[in-house]
Structures are given as C-alpha cells and as structure tokens.
Amino acid sequence: MTESGMKPALWHGVPRSKIDWHPTVNDEKCIGCGLCFLTCGKGVYQFDWDRKKSVVIHPESCVVGCQTCANLCPAEAIAFAEEGDTPQKKAQRIVKKYKVLPSAKKELELMQS
C-alpha cells in the first residue's frame, strides 16, 4: 500500500514506480505542435500554453515500451533512451531485468481459464 492507502500500480507484477520508462521532451527542439499531448491517452503530458511546449507531468503513467508520441513528434524532440542507447534495447533490458516473462505466462494462463 502507498501512503495514500492506494495499491501501487503494477506492470506485470513489478511496481511501476521502479521502472525507468517515460518520455523526455527537449524544449529546444519542441515546436509546440501539441501532437504528443493530444495523442497520449494516459495523461502523461500537459500543454504549457504560455510557452507553447508540451510538459511531462505524469511520467509513471506512460505505458512501458510505448513510444507513440516520439514516433509522431515532427521535431524529434521526444526521447526515451539516453544517447547511444535505443528505446527498443532499453525496453528489452527492462523485460529481462524484472523477469517479466513468467508473469506474462501466468497472465495468459489466467485469461485462458
């Protein structure tokens, strides 16, 4: 339980708060088109109307492995991995590090039963 009494959000059994997966916006590159804010269905972004920039306000709401907003960004202003790394490799490391496959198998079995 969290301090608020809410159950922590889990991703295949792993507390979401442990997982480093969220977009980072490069303000200098962002042209303020709002596409990421308008597209993300998880409320990760807020739009700063004064600065005309998208701002990440709920990073832990980002779906692990998703990078739709980065794919759509016309300015290539959104990153999920450090320079020299790739989002795909980073996502694969997360899957391995947290041993997600046994959990996924159990989830599939429950769906079948």
Residues that bind ligand SF4 (CB under 6 A): 23, 25, 30-36, 39-40, 42, 44, 54, 62-63, 66-69, 73-75, 77-78
Nearer to ligand SF4, 35 or 95 (CB): 35
CB of 64 to ligand SF4, least distance (A): 9
Which pair of structure tokens corresponds to residue 4? 């608020």
| Alpha carbons 9 and 50: distance in angstroms, whole number | 32
- The 3-state DSSP composition of the chain as helix, strand, coil percent (nearest 5) reads 35, 15, 50
| Of the candidates 113, 97, 19, the residue with the CA atom closest to the CA atom of residue 105 | 113
| Of the candidates 66, 68, 83, the residue with the CA atom closest to the CA atom of residue 26 | 83
CB of 35 to ligand SF4, least distance (A): 4
Which pair of structure tokens corresponds to residue 46? 């807020």
CB of 25 to ligand SF4, least distance (A): 5
CB of 69 to ligand SF4, least distance (A): 3
Nearer to ligand SF4, 34 or 103 (CB): 34
